[in-house]
Amino acid sequence: MLAPDLAVLAPTYIPAVRAYALTVRVGDEIATSTSVQLPKSDLGYHTVFVDGSPYRVITVQDPRSRLVTLGVPSSEATDDTTRQQRIVIASCVAAIAAAAGLGWIFGGRAVRPIVDLTRSISAEPPQPLPTASGVREARALADALGSMLQRVTDAQADTTAALTTARDFAAVSAHELRTPLTAMRTDIEVLRTLELDDEQRAEILDDLQRAQGRVEATLSALERLATGELASESDYTDTDIVDVCDLAAQDAMRHHPGLTVRVDSGPTLMLRGLRAGLRLAIDNALTNAARHGGARNAVITATQQPNGTIVVAIDDDGKGIPESERAAVFERFVRGSGAAQSGSGLGLALVAQQAHLHGGRAHFEPSTLGGARLVIELASRRP
| HEC per residue, the chain | CECCCHHHHHHHHHHHCCCCEEEEEECCEEEEECCCCCCCCCCEEEEEEECCEEEEEEEEECCCCCEEEEEEEHHHHHHHHHHHHHHHHHHHHHHHHHHHHHHHHHHHHHHHHHHHHHHHHHCCCCCCCCCCCCCHHHHHHHHHHHHHHHHHHHHHHHHHHHHHHHHHHHHHHHHHHHHHHHHHHHHHHHHHHCCCCHHHHHHHHHHHHHHHHHHHHHHHHHHHHHHHHCCCHHHCEEEEHHHHHHHHHHHHHHHCCCCEEEEEECCCCEEEECHHHHHHHHHHHHHHHHHHCCCCEEEEEEEECCCCCEEEEEEECCCCCCHHHCCHHHCCCCCCCCCCCCCCCCHHHHHHHHHHHCCCCEEEEECCCCCEEEEEEECCCCC
Q: What is the pLDDT of residue 229?
A: 65
φ/ψ of residue 63, rounded to 5: -60, -20
Are 25 and 69 in contact by the 8 Å Cβ rule? The answer is yes
pLDDT in tens, the chain (383 residues): 334 444 444 444 344 444 678 889 888 888 888 888 888 888 988 888 888 888 888 899 888 888 898 888 888 777 778 888 999 999 999 999 999 888 888 777 767 777 776 776 666 666 565 565 556 766 777 777 778 877 888 888 878 877 886 777 677 667 667 767 888 888 898 888 888 888 888 888 988 888 887 777 777 766 766 676 667 778 888 999 999 999 999 999 998 889 999 999 888 899 998 888 899 899 989 988 998 888 999 999 999 999 989 999 999 999 888 888 888 888 877 777 766 545 667 788 889 988 988 999 999 998 989 999 999 999 877 65
Q: What is the pLDDT of residue 18?
A: 47
Q: What is the pLDDT of residue 3?
A: 43
Whether the upstream peptide bond of residue 257 has omega within 30° of 0, thus cis, is: no
pTM exceeding the 0.75 threshold for the entire prediction: no
Going along the chain from its start, the domains and CATH numbers come out as 6-78 (3.30.450), 138-227 (1.10.287), 232-378 (3.30.565.10)
Neighbours of 261 (CB within 10 A): 24
